[in-house]
Amino acid sequence: MASEEKVIVIDFGGQYNQLVARRVRECNVYCEIYSYRTPIEQIKEMSPKGIILTGGPNSCYEDGAPTYTKELFELGIPVLGLCYGAQLMMHVLGGKVEKAPVREYGKTETLIDGSKDALFAGVEDKTTVWMSHFDYISKVAPGFEIIAHTADCPVAAAACEAKKLYAIQFHPEVLHTVKGKEILHNFVRGICQTSGSWRMDSFVENTIKDIREKVGDGKVLLALSGGVDSSVLAALLAKAIGKQLTCVFVDHGLLRKNEGDEVESVFGPEGNFDINFIRVNAADRYYAKLKGVEEPERKRKIIGEEFIRVFEEEAKKIGTVDFLAQGTIYPDVVESGLGGESVVIKSHHNVGGLPDYVDFKEIIEPLRSLFKDEVRKAGLELGLPEYLVFRQPFPGPGLGIRIIGEVTAEKVRIVQDADYIYRTELAQAGLDKLPDQYFAALSNMRSVGVMGDERTYDYAVVLRAVETVDFMTAEASQIPFEVLQRVMSRIINEVKGVNRVMYDLTSKPPGTVELE
């Protein structure tokens, strides 16, 4: 995504690198993440309005530690160093960084010493910040003055106003820093003098124009899963090129209740988009392939491989296409090690591996520069219904991994109905936006129960609801007991085959968000 106005984040391995970039974009300024290995010439060519250096796990004074050339601070571009980035700035410019006598971690009261005209405008004299460091700045570089301190950290922030260089020892990007958003806003909009013109309506408008120019009169093929990313991508392409787009929606019979019909109602013949829409109802094929399979990873592989087979069959009917569209988003790029320096978290299916079973000339990824919350905003801008835009996160293998043990049509019906009741009751209680993810799963435990005057031997449904920032860690949500009671009562009374309902309190770690 090209933009006239850009702030860049230089990544030194910090765990919050994506969060920093998101916070900059919340200031309506476009932002991208680059590794500290990015050459200074490339930085100059980008002509960023500002540069932010992230945290990192190293000590900047050790041999081999990530560093950057002193020239970065002599470009006349405002630079903000965060945590490791702050220490590195001091180290490179002639200050001193040492092992701290007292390590600071967690919420810390910080005292502002300097002027509040620039970085700390609107911040109280005493404010709470999030610290996480075992080194500290023992001496600031020449030309810098200390503008904040804590009880154990003499340099919580330092500034060289003349050169617009700022070093802060804490993390303003996390919510625990009370005035963190204001501090970043002061830097990005005030000190960097950006206009704040990065907005979703302009992104959608410009991207539609870019797609039309790139595609011309070519044909585009998209595997539409019904998830947020692929749905927003389909809507964007539909607005840009209409009937030149063919969407293949493989319904593997493992979607949530009514979900296949909902996707078709939006993108099918009766929907709002004039595209070629192909729905393949392949549930029986999947159930046959999954018969007798209980191991979760094996189920994942079977579901993924069968999707390729079905999609391949449909693609062959269409013939050669010019472009294959993929719903890659910015976290996919960063987490695959292509957009920063942090540890590669996963090898993402949307990044790097081009499918060899479809005859196409080029791949297009129009959402590649967006974070998930920005994808949702784009979806609303494109006129997609809220229930689709704010759909709960859903794994690719669908209910196949929310059913413990063998997958059967009967078990799919049970978990679909139970999950539908759970989601409905949370919505009616006004709680559907509170947990970050919630769903019903089907255990492979059967137990004796009594319903009416009859003895039963049926399944136990497990309810899961978690609150999380990044899905790397998660805590169970505290759903009000009366809501859980209502959900339990409805599931047992309305879903045949269930006589017990449980609520999973496990955090991640040691558990995972899904139950597989």
Query: Is 122 within 8 Å of 179 (Cβ atoms)?
Result: yes
Q: What is the per-residue DSSP string for 63-94? A: TT-----GGGGGSS--EEEETHHHHHHHHHTT
Element (H, E) at 53: strand 50-53
pLDDT at residue 348 in the model: 37
Helix, strand, or coil (residue 403)? strand
Residue whose C-alpha is closest to residue 420's, from 442, 439, 399: 439
Residue 347 confidence (pLDDT) above 50: no
Q: So what's the pLDDT on residue 356?
A: 56
Range with the lowest mean pLDDT among 67-81, 208-222, 470-484?
Answer: 470-484
CA distance 476 to 421: 19
Round the average pLDDT of the chain to a whole number and report it: 89
pLDDT (tens digit per residue) in 158-167: 999 999 999 9
Query: What CA–CA distance (Å, rounded) separates 9 from 11?
Result: 6
- The three-class DSSP label of residue 413 is helix
Q: Is the pLDDT of residue 236 over 80?
A: yes
Most confident among 113-122, 224-233, 286-295 (mean pLDDT): 286-295
Torsion angle defined by CA atoms of residues 455, 456, 461 and 462, in that order, rounded to the nearest 10 degrees: 50
Token pair of 463, please?
Answer: 């309810």
pLDDT over 90 percentage in the chain: 66
Contact between 186 and 213 under an 8 Å Cβ cutoff? The reply is no
Reduced DSSP (H G I as helix, E B as strand, rest coil) percent helix, strand, coil of the chain, to 5: 35, 25, 40
CA angle 139, 143, 147 (to 5 degrees): 65
Q: What percentage of the chain has pLDDT greater than the value 70?
A: 93
Q: What is the pTM of this model?
A: 0.75
Q: What confidence tens digit (pLDDT) does each residue in 445-488 have?
A: 888 887 766 777 789 999 999 987 666 678 999 999 999 999 99
Give the DSSP per-residue string, 132-147: EEEEEEEEPPTT-EEE
- The runs of H, that is alpha helices, within 383-408 are 386-389
One-letter amino acid at 113 equals D
Compute the distance between CA of residue 290 and CA of residue 288 in angstroms, rounded to an integer.
5
pLDDT over 80 (residue 418): yes
Q: Is the pLDDT of residue 249 over 90?
A: yes
Query: What is the Rg, in whole angstroms, of the alpha carbon atoms belonging to the chain?
Result: 26
Rounded to 5 degrees, φ, ψ at 32 are -130, 160
Q: What is the pLDDT of residue 353?
A: 43
Q: Give the range among 69-83, 338-352, 389-403, 421-435 with minimum mean pLDDT.
A: 338-352
Residues annotated as catalytic (active site), given as ranges: 83, 171, 173
Q: Amino acid letter at 75?
A: L
Q: Are 464 and 423 in contact (CB under 8 A)?
A: no
In the block, tokens 């050669």 appear at 320
Pick the range with the lowest mean pLDDT from 21-25, 38-42, 211-215: 21-25
SS3 string, 160-222, reads: EHHHCEEEECCCCCCCCCCCHHHHHHHHHHHHCCCCCCCCHHHHHHHHHHHHHHHHCCCCEEE
Beta bridge partners of 6: 30
- Per-residue pLDDT at 125 exceeds 50: yes
Q: Looking up tokens 């490339």, which residue turns up?
A: 42
Place of tokens 């449980």: 502
Q: Is the peptide bond before 269 cis (omega within 30 degrees of 0)?
A: no
User: Residue 315 has what pLDDT?
Assistant: 87
pLDDT at 392: 82
pLDDT at 170 over 70: yes
The tens digit of pLDDT for each residue in 11-27 reads 998 878 888 988 999 99
CA distance 91 to 100: 15
Hey, which residues does 455 pair with through a beta bridge?
Answer: 450
Give the other-Cβ count within 10 Å of 117's Cβ: 10
Edge-to-edge order in the sheet of strand 157-160: 30-35, 6-11, 50-53, 79-82, 165-168, 157-160, 145-149, 96-112, 126-139
d(CA 187, CA 118): 7
Burial class (CB in 10 A: 0-12, 13-18, 19+), 479: buried
Q: What are phi and psi of 248, to 5 degrees?
A: -105, 115
Whether the predicted pLDDT of 361 surpasses 70: yes
